[in-house]
Amino acid sequence: MDPKHINNHVGKQLRSRRTMLGLSQEAVGKGIGVASQQVQKYEKGTNVMNAIRMYEFAQFLKVPVAYFYEGLEPASAGKKTAEAAYGFAEERETFDEENKSASDRETLEVLKSFKRIKDHASRKRIADLLRTLSLKGI
């Protein structure tokens, strides 16, 4: 697999988590002791994160190190992934194909907004509505 592809994927995961937490590049940089420009370069995949730096990001963002590799295609098509072993690979492909048109930022904003809803009954009704709309293909 192309190292640039891996760097880009890791960077997207970093940006996704940072955005999900509502943090700026500057805040994350300060949290782990690097400049915001360096965080930006990691997010764009321009600079490669070493193991120590990735561990620091994982600790600061409260995710396992493996989070940065989630969704990355396996290095060999012949290897059986955990998703395939448990029958989720087809569902994942369908999900990925259906959601290519949706922006990552829009999805993150919806998730952040949903998490801010404190009333459990309202959250449940909204989740039910979304589920219904998605099943109808609206």
Q: Model confidence over 35-73: pLDDT tens digits?
A: 999 999 999 999 999 999 999 999 999 999 999 999 887
**97 has pLDDT over 60:** no
Residue 136: predicted pLDDT: 77
Q: What are phi and psi of 64, to 5 degrees?
A: -70, 155
For the chain, the straight-line distance linking the first and the last C-alpha, in angstroms and rounded, comes to 37
Band the pLDDT of 127: cuts 50, 70, 90: confident
Please check whether residue 23 lies inside any domain of the structure.
yes
60 and 106 housed in the same domain: no
What ranges make up the beta strands (E) of 56-100?
none
* Other CB atoms within 10 Å distance of the CB of residue 18: 20
Angle at 99 between CA 120 and CA 134, to 5 degrees: 50
Please check whether residue 15 lies inside any domain of the structure.
yes
Q: What are phi and psi of 100, to 5 degrees?
A: -60, -30
Please check whether residue 84 lies inside any domain of the structure.
no
20 and 57 housed in the same domain: yes
**126 has pLDDT over 60:** yes
15 and 56 housed in the same domain: yes
Domain's final residue, options 21, 53, 72: 72
1 and 40 housed in the same domain: yes
Domain count, the chain: 2
In eight-state DSSP terms, residue 67 is: G
Radius of gyration of the chain (CA): 17
What range does the domain containing 35 cover?
1-72
67 and 5 housed in the same domain: yes
57 and 9 housed in the same domain: yes
Which residues, 6+ apart, have CB-to-CB distance to 56 below 8 Å? 32, 33
- Domain with 34 in it: what CATH number? 1.10.260.40
